[in-house]
Homo-oligomer: A and B are copies of this chain.
Amino acid sequence: MERPGDDATLETATRVWQGLNTLVADRHNRRKEVADALGMSFSRIRALRRIAPGPLTLRELAQRMSADPPYTTVIVDDLVKRGLAERVAHPVDRRSKLVRLTAEGKAAADRAIAILTVPPDDLLALPREDIEALDRVVSKLLG
């Protein structure tokens, strides 16, 4: 059965989860903003961000984007056409190719990250201890 109290915690957690979704997905959703700013669709921006940390094989990129290989090829083709990424030979396996960002691609990724990670005003307006409380718990969740 259930200990008393679990219900209340579940209720609170549900409210929290719903609230977080409203904040992130509805109220401060910046997908369109980034896409407009960089002149490309959001899926391309997602790819840029995954490639940014360092070269990947297409296979790895596909996994991290939950996309199948053909679609991954399409995305990378587009980034290459825009001069943001390039394919380089894999040092060991010649079947494989590594994708990495060009200097221009890195700049684009940085712009995207800048837009996506700037905290919204209402978050910044909170008293510092509230922000720190969030930081503590969110870090724990990301653990």
Residues of the B chain whose Cβ atoms lie less than 8 Å from the Cβ of A122 = 141, 143
**Are B138 and A19 neighbours in the complex by a CB distance under 8 Å?**
yes
Report the Cα distance A92→B123, complex, angstroms.
Answer: 42
Asked whether B141 lies within 8 Å of A17 as measured between CB atoms, the reply is no
Instruction: Determine the distance from Cα of A24 to Cα of B123 in the docked complex, in whole angstroms.
Output: 16
Interfacial residues of chain A within 87-128, with CB under 8 A of chain B in the complex: 116-120, 122-124, 126, 128
With A22-B142, A131-B9 known as contacts, the answer to whether A17 contacts B118 (CB < 8 A) is yes
Residue of B nearest to A32 (CB): B66
By a CB distance below 8 angstroms, the chain B residues around A120 are 17
> Do residues A21 and B18 form an inter-chain contact, with CB atoms below 8 A?
no
Cβ of A82 within 8 Å of any chain B Cβ, yes or no, is no
Contact partners of A21 in chain B: CB under 8 A? 24, 116-117
Chain B residue at smallest Cβ distance from A128: B9
